[in-house]
Amino acid sequence: MEDSLADKVVLVTGATSGIGHSVAVKFAAQSAHVVALGRNHTALRDVETAVKAAGGEPLVLAVDVTNSDQAQHAIDETVRRFGRLDVLVNAAGHISAGSIEDTSLAAWDAMMNVNVRAVFQLMQMATPHLIKTKGNIVNVSSVTGLRSFPGVLAYCVSKAAVDQLTRCAALELAPKGVRVNAVNPGVVVTEIHKRGGMSEEAYERFLEHSKTTHPLGRVGDPKEIAELVFYLASERAAWITGATYQIDGGRALTCAR
């Protein structure tokens, strides 16, 4: 059943880097039709090349997921091109540092817009099409949705919101045959921290420190997360819905350090 998603149509946000990029390539390698969304035109060309190398012919769209018109266009163009939508993977995300004392409202709103509002909106837009295909949704959350961590308050709250959104939507859509799940990675080597303002040197120190905070002694690889996303989207997970899956080297089992 490894190719249970052959010829299925999979829309992936945040497909231009990190986990989203690996997810797009994984689905293409298993003969799914991939729709890759991202904001960076150069990175979109890169993911298009990678998906083609994996055997796919992707639909690549430059989309800011926080823009309602662009998000709706992505859904409409997917259905126009392929006639259906089977899987939505919300992998686009944003992180920035900040505590209860110094997180500005602007920083809070930016976090919520990308990590929560855009996820909700795309789920809502995709739902009528997923009901028709008895499809499913996989949201990329974080270990910070399950456990609290200091210094990234808005990010933690946004991911906890994604987890609850996943569970609530799963209950509401189950009678209509649509499954909704989330994955909760620990620290994974991507560009998200550097895009959020962390310097290259600080990021290297962070990765080294993270070897000590994850019981398995290392950080994660985006391809490992993509494997779990693929599993949850496949028929192998046909009786799983409303789950928030830890994939974090044991990070959620530990106390803050």
Q: Which residues are catalytic?
A: 155
Helix (H, G, I), strand (E, B) or coil at 220: strand
CB atoms within 10 A of CB 42: 8
Helix (H, G, I), strand (E, B) or coil at 38: strand
d(CA 13, CA 36): 6
C-alpha distances in Å from residue 141, one per residue of 26, 48, 210: 19, 24, 18
Closest C-alpha to 72, from 125, 116, 35, 36:
125
Which H or E run contains 11?
A: strand 9-12
| Residues in Cβ contact with 200 at an 8 Å cutoff, skipping those fewer than 6 apart | 194
C-alpha distances in Å from residue 119, one per residue of 66, 124, 126, 142, 162: 9, 9, 11, 14, 8
User: Chain-centre distance of CA 168, in angstroms?
Assistant: 18
C-alpha distances in Å from residue 31, one per residue of 20, 57, 84, 108: 17, 10, 16, 39
Burial class (CB within 10 angstroms; exposed 0-12, middle 13-18, buried 19+) of 221 = middle
